[in-house]
Structure 1
Amino acid sequence: DETHREPRSFLNVHLQADKPCPRCGNPISEVKANQRITNFFRFCQPGGLLKGMR
């Protein structure tokens, strides 16, 4: 059984806080909680990570 491998685009912003988003150019956002870091596109990521953070 061969493992299915595709590029994981969701890792493109990992540890890239404050660098420009490749889609819209706005800074990549970062949230820290319980010693974990999450990076996300605040302005163009669908669904929003946290309500009211835009």
Structure 2
Amino acid sequence: MPLYMTFVSGLYPLRLLRVDENGQLLRDENGFCIRCKPGESGEIVRVYTTNTLPQI
């Protein structure tokens, strides 16, 4: 994960999530998406919360 993602995630609710070879999000045993570790490739997604929904 690039260093700038650390700073950007504080300003924007973005997450870098792991994907498989088909581009499907990988999930843990509880069904939650798995965040990428440093150096891994993944897919950037925006996290919507009750605080951000009125803005869209």
Same fold (TM over 0.5): no
Bigger radius of gyration among the two: 1
Highest relative contact order (Cα 8 Å, sep 6+), 1 or 2? 2
Q: TM-score, normalised by structure 1?
A: 0.28
Q: TM-score, normalised by structure 2?
A: 0.27
